[in-house]
């Protein structure tokens, strides 16, 4: 795990500039740093290293290929690097390696197999900057599902990129370029995160998962191409479904997950796992314990408030599996002390309040290990959220209606204005006939945002309403607009899962895990995002994920069935608590009330014309009066905190 940065500019002091950018990502790579500059092109690559494989200087970056054609700065881990290395040696018996890092393997693979062929072979998480000295072409690449971040854009006409926004902020002249994107801010207030490819700054974007961007001399334009698509993967899975029975599906998924876990244990530093007490983390730890020669190190944080505490359940699971378990009960003050750090950790507005305990459990794990495995993606790939459960019941009622009729009626609902759409969905008749993907958008993504929860200015609101879902189409990169509108699947429940895997999961869940882990120099790996697991998941019938048992709808059915092979069902048979904090109480009566009140009263975003004063006051007073709208208020406060530090 590392951090990368770079720019193309012959006129700037390259060493000073890249040193400043590297300094902003030292937390991503505390072990060492380096840079490389090409005077002919003006390209400079920077790197900070968290050594995981090959702890010697042989793994230092930026790294040159053996033939000296390619230079690379890379962030991530390639879990099938040993297999790729073996294949490379078979193809070229004269090939020798300087060390044992995965960096060197994929660099030589680019030389032998080519760019896109190598990307197709790689299994792992990564953000890569690769320069072809022969063709004078820079390639930026991001992993299939978006585990590793990569920002890019033009600043004063010069191409700049980096692992985090704060890295780009350190580039000379960026301060004059820091114009807030109203489109991104509107989307943030709608979702609680800024969806890719947008960033909070105009002209600065996030490379989408599964993309490879090309920047050719004279380096004035960039062009992105997909080498892997979640939509295409899901569509292929729907067209070629798994034909075995449920037990056979369980056996196959267990085999794939075990292989993914085994591959992701590869490390030259200590490895552990998060254990929350839920289904997903318990399954990953069970499989780790199955393939490990020694007890797995597991980590849990607990809360004194029993409403939010799952530590006692995690401890019971750890004892059953025989892990080396570490738990830490954190006080309310421990949680509150994290809040001032958040705007720097995420470097743009981000408002998933589980970011607070995620940071604390990452810090706890880092005291014992350098790498962790987690159970993330179980909910989105295998249908774990309550919304899926509710819609699953509804789907059982309407699935008998011919698809063409359902599609037509759902399309009729989509043309309504947002507030009208919400009112329509509140009608039982509309619920029975409507399009499930549109219902999911209404339930999960706050379709009523343009009503009582709207805090952006009236002029921005007017522009946003032109598309009925967020911001004006003209202001949004085509890829984002296509993602929001697209529904390539015939099965509506699968379409819900796909939308979350395209948006919420990479732009919220994976952002949270990456930034919180990297803030304490901890690498987190996600076995459920293994390429083979993801591709297999899309072939599974919906009823294998969200199925009926004893007259009720069971979420994550297949994951639970596999877990019960390792952990007794009665140990897991309890309501899900999630990884949350008592934010409503904090903001209404606790320590944060004064802090929140001060930010609202003296809003910098109101002062500079981004938020509407009357709307902001209405939202805050309404929250204090009835304790509703906590998420909206938290989004406002996180945006204010971030903006004040940069204005």
377: three-class secondary structure by DSSP: coil
Share of the chain above pLDDT 70, in %: 85
Over 70: is that where the pLDDT of 514 sits?
yes
pLDDT tier at 292, thresholds 50, 70, 90: very high
**Rounded Cα gap, residues 105 and 118, in angstroms:** 10
Whether residue 174 has a cis bond before it, omega within 30° of 0: no
Q: What number of other Cβ atoms are within 10 A of residue 510's Cβ? A: 24
Contacts of residue 575, Cβ cutoff 8 Å, sequence gap at least 6: none
pLDDT at 453 over 70: no
Inter-residue contact 88 to 109 (CB < 8 Å): yes
Q: What is the pTM of this model?
A: 0.91
Q: Among residues 2, 233, 250, 454, which one is catalytic?
A: 2
Is residue 426 very low, low, confident or very high in pLDDT (cuts 50, 70, 90)?
very low
Which pLDDT does position 410 carry in this prediction?
Answer: 55
- List pLDDT tens digits, range 478-501: 455 455 545 678 777 888 899 899
Q: Which residues contact 73 (CB under 8 A, 6 or more apart)?
A: 4, 5, 6, 36, 45, 46, 47, 61, 62, 128, 129
Work out the average pLDDT over 130-142: 97
222 is catalytic: no
Report residue 405's pLDDT band, with 50, 70 and 90 as the boundaries. Answer: low
Asked whether the beta carbons of 596 and 636 are under 8 A apart, the reply is no
Please tell me the distance from the alpha carbon of residue 145 to that of residue 229, in angstroms, as a whole number.
Answer: 9
Cα torsion 510, 516, 518, 520 to 10°: value is: -160
On the question of pLDDT at 552 being above 80, the answer is no
Q: Output the DSSP codes for 19-48.
A: HHHHHTTGGG-BSEEEEEEETTTTEEEEEE
How confident is the model at residue 387, as a pLDDT?
74
Q: Which domains are assigned to the chain?
A: 2-228 (3.60.20.10), 232-382+505-572 (3.40.50.620), 582-647 (no CATH)
How many whole angstroms separate alpha carbon 77 and alpha carbon 86? 17
């Amino acid at each position: 795990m590392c951090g990368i940065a770079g720019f193309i500019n012959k006129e700037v002091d390259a060493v000073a500039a890249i040193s400043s950018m590297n300094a902003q990502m030292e937390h991503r790579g505390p072990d060492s740093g380096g840079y490389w500059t090409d005077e002919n092109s003006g390209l400079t690559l920077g790197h900070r290293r968290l050594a995981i494989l090959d702890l010697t200087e042989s793994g230092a970056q930026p790294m040159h290929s053996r033939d000296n054609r390619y230079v690379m700065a890379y962030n991530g881990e390639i879990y099938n690097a040993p297999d790729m290395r073996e294949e490379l040696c078979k193809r070229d018996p004269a090939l020798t390696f300087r060390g044992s890092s995965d960096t060197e393997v994929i660099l030589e693979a680019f030389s032998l197999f080519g760019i896109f062929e190598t990307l197709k072979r790689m299994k792992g998480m990564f953000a890569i900057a690769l320069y072809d000295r022969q063709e004078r072409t820079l390639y930026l690449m991001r992993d299939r599902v978006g585990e590793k971040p990569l920002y890019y854009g033009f600043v004063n006409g010069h191409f700049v990129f980096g692992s985090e926004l704060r890295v780009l902020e350190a580039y000379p002249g960026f301060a004059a370029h820091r114009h807030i994107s109203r489109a991104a801010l509107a989307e943030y207030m709608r979702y609680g995160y800024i969806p890719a490819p947008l960033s909070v700054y105009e002209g600065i974007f996030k490379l989408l998962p599964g993309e490879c961007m090309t920047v050719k001399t004279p380096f004035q334009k960039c062009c992105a191409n997909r080498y892997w698509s979640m939509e295409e993967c899901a569509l292929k899975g729907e067209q070629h479904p798994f034909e075995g029975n449920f037990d056979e599906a369980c056996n196959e998924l267990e085999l794939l997950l075990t292989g993914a876990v085994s591959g992701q244990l590869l490390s030259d530093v200590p490895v552990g796992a998060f254990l929350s007490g839920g289904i997903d983390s318990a399954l990953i730890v069970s499989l780790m314990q199955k393939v490990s020669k020694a007890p797995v190190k597991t980590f849990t944080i607990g809360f004194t408030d029993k409403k939010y505490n799952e530590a006692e359940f995690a401890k019971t699971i750890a004892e059953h599996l025989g892990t080396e378990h570490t738990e830490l009960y954190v006080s309310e003050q421990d949680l509150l002390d994290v809040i001032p750090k958040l705007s720097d950790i995420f470097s743009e507005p981000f408002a998933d309040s589980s970011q607070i305990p995620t940071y604390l459990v990452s810090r706890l794990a880092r005291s014992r290990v350098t790498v962790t495995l987690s159970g993330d993606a179980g909910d989105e790939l295998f249908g774990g959220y309550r919304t899926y459960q509710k819609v699953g019941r509804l789907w059982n009622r309407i699935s008998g209606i011919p698809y063409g009729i359902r599609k037509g009626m759902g399309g009729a609902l989509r043309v309504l204005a947002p507030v009208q759409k919400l009112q329509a969905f509140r009608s039982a008749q509309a619920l029975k006939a409507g399009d499930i993907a549109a219902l999911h958008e209404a339930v999960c993504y706050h379709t009523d945002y343009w009503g009582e929860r709207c805090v952006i200015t009236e002029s921005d609101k007017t522009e946003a309403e032109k598309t009925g879902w967020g911001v004006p189409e003209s202001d949004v990169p085509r890829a984002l607009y296509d993602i929001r509108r697209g529904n390539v699947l015939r099965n509506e429940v699968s379409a819900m899962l796909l939308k979350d895997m395209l948006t919420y999961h990479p732009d919220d869940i994976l952002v949270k895990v990456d930034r919180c882990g990297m803030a304490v120099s901890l690498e987190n790996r996600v076995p459920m995002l293994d390429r083979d697991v993801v591709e297999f998941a899309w072939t599974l019938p919906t009823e294998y994920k969200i199925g009926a048992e004893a007259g009720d709808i069971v979420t994550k059915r297949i994951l639970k069935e596999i877990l019960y092979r390792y952990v007794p069902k009665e140990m897991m048979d309890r309501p899900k608590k999630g990884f949350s904090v008592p934010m409503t109480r904090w903001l209404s009566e606790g320590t944060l009330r004064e802090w929140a009140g001060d930010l609202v009263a003296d809003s910098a975003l109101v002062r500079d014309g981004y938020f509407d004063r009357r709307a902001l006051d209405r939202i805050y007073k309404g929250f204090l009066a009835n304790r509703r709208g906590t998420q909206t208020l938290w989004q406002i406060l996180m945006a204010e905190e971030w903006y004040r530090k940069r204005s």
